Every structure is written in structure tokens, then in C-alpha cells.
Structure 1
Amino acid sequence: MTAVALTARAARRLRRVAAAGRRPRGGDRGTVAVELAIGVPMLVLVVLIAAAAFVMGRANLDVNAAAAAGARAASLARTPPAATSAATSAATANLADRCVSLTIDVHTGGFHRGGQVRVTVACTVTTRGLTGIGLPGATTFEATATSPIDVFRHISLGPAVGAHPEDTDDA
């Protein structure tokens, strides 16, 4: 046998094998529907997860901003009780109607010229309104911010009535 005869015989054999393995026409019917039935719910799930990540990230940034605003407001106050009140007001205003529960802790132990004030804010955010179908769940975000108390504030503001001895010119 020649090489041409072997090649022709091999080609016929490959055609017969290929024809036997070929699917009949219409064998792919319904595959698009199955792909959509699987793909669309997965796409919706990905979109919901992305929305949840966005809402949770925004809540974390808001809690950090509230802690910083509270610390700054507390550092501008003249007395520790006024600092606690100012920090609480500032943090609450920053997180208006965003938290299910809000905890604000103001540490005024170092409240003197050159000292610092520390504010910790904890906010619990619910996921119930996230999807519109009422999924249960909640996450608590916590942030701490520290702000220094100005060393020279007694020069610019003058002594406050009932101020600490550190806030007067005698210190």
C-alpha cells in the first residue's frame, strides 16, 4: 500500500468516527434557558453582596468620622463635663438615624493643657433594610479618635469661669 492509500483510508475512518459521535440537530435546545436559570440568580447575589459591602464600608467611615468630630469638639471644651457633652453631641449629630444602637465613651483623664481627650464610638448597623426583603443581621462598628488639647488655649480664649488651675495664667 502506498502512503496515499493509507491517508485516504485514515481520512474515511476519521469521518465515520466523527459522524457517529455527532449529536443530532436540536440537541442544544434549552441550554440557554438553563444557563439563564443559573446565571441570573448568581448575578443578583453578586449585586446584593456588592451593595452590602458598600453600605458596611460607608458605615465604617461614618463611625470613624463621628469619633474624630467628637474628639475635636471635646478638645475645644473648657471643662471635662463640657468636653463629654460636646463630644456626645458631635458624634450623635454625625450618626443621626444611622445606628440601631450608639455608644459614645469620652475619656477625659488627660484633660489639661497639653493633654489629650479620647473618644470611642460604637455603632450597630442593621442589614434589614439593605435588600428590601428583610434579611436579619446587624454589625457593630467601633472607632477611637484622640485629639490634643492646645497648650496655649488660655492665651487666646482667656481663663474660663470655674476652670482648672492649669487653664489659668498661674500654671
Structure 2
Amino acid sequence: MMPMGRVLAKATHRHEDEGSAVIEAVIGVPAFMLFVGLIIFGGRTIMAHQAVESAAADAARTASIARSAGDASGTATAAGAASLKNQQVQCITQSVTVDTAGFSAPVGTPARVTATVTCRVNLSDLSIPGVPGSLTVTESATSPIDTFRER
């Protein structure tokens, strides 16, 4: 059995941690929200890189099956833009450049075409301290031109 003094002491000290949950929430919730925001930022960055890389591959493949350098440039640009649109990437600005120097190689000589896709992705809606308002993603892909096809 406890003496009466100890019982009273326990009864008067049992509410010392009142309000600590509020303090924990004030500190913890913003930290958690920052963590979630950084996960979203990372996911959007990775998805943008994958989409732009896929668009570059589509553009290079489309250019490699064209009959001339002029056709290759036009069809590759359209294919890269269509790929970004199909993947629902929201680019502030985008560009597709195609290196068609391989089309000037003589028939029978191995040649290739390279497509480079650049997309500036908007990140301003995240509102995370230290995260830029936009991110420029650039990827390139190369595809061989048929060695024995007339150019």
C-alpha cells in the first residue's frame, strides 16, 4: 500500500504532458508534408525523364525509316511531339532536333540518325522550398539507317 503523500503526488503530476500532442503535430505535420512533396517531385522528375527518353527513341526510329533527310527531320519532329502528348507530359516548351548527317553517307556504308528531345517541365505547382519552378529534361536516342537502302 502506498502512503497518502505518494498518491496525491501521482494525482497532481499525471497531466504534465498535456499539450505535447499539439506541439508534436505542429512540428511533425510540416515535416511530413515536405517529405510527401519531395516524393512527388522525385516521381514527376523520373516520369518526365522516361517520357522524354521514349519520345527521343520514337523520333529516332521514325527518322531512320524515312527516305530522305528532309522527310526524316519532319517526321521525327512530329513523332517526338506526338509521343510526349500521348504520355501526357505537360511541357512548357519542347523541341526535337534531328541529326540527319547519316543520310549523306553512300549506300552500303553504315549510318545512323540521332534525335534529341528537350522538354521544360513545370514544377511550380509543388511549392516546395528549394525546388525550382521548372526542370529541363533532355534525352537523345540513335537509330541505324538501313545500310543498303537507297538514300
TM-score tier, shorter chain, comes to 0.7 to 0.9
Aligned match of 1:115: 111
Whichever of the two has the greater Rg, that structure is 1
8 Å Cα contact 2:90/2:122 also seen in 1: no
Letter in 1 for 2:141: A
Percent identical residues: 37
Q: 1:37 Cα deviation (Å)?
A: 1.2
In 2, Cα distance between equivalents of 1:48 and 1:57: 14
* Cα RMSD after superposing both structures: 2.0
User: TM (normalized to structure 2)?
Assistant: 0.79
Aligned match of 2:95: 103
Query: Structure 2 stretches of 5 or more lacking a match?
Result: 1-11
3-state SS of paired residue (1:28): coil
Bigger drift between 27-36 and 76-85 goes to 27-36
Q: 1:25 Cα deviation (Å)?
A: 2.8
In 2, Cα distance between equivalents of 1:44 and 1:64: 30
Letter in 2 for 1:60: H
Q: 1:130 Cα deviation (Å)?
A: 4.0
8 Å Cα contact 2:114/2:142 also seen in 1: yes
Q: 1:32 Cα deviation (Å)?
A: 1.1
In 1, Cα distance between equivalents of 2:111 and 2:126: 42
Q: How does 1:17-166 map to 2 (within 5 A)?
A: 24-96=13-85, 98-111=90-103, 112=105, 113=107, 114-130=110-126, 137-152=133-148, 154=149
User: TM (normalized to structure 1)?
Assistant: 0.70
Q: 1:136 Cα deviation (Å)?
A: 6.5
In 2, Cα distance between equivalents of 1:35 and 1:129: 27
In 2, Cα distance between equivalents of 1:62 and 1:51: 16
Query: Structure 1 stretches of 5 or more lacking a match?
Result: 1-22, 155-166
In 2, Cα distance between equivalents of 1:130 and 1:39: 19
In 1, Cα distance between equivalents of 2:71 and 2:46: 32
Q: 1:24 Cα deviation (Å)?
A: 2.8
**Segments ≥4 residues shifted beyond 4 Å:** none
Aligned residues: 130
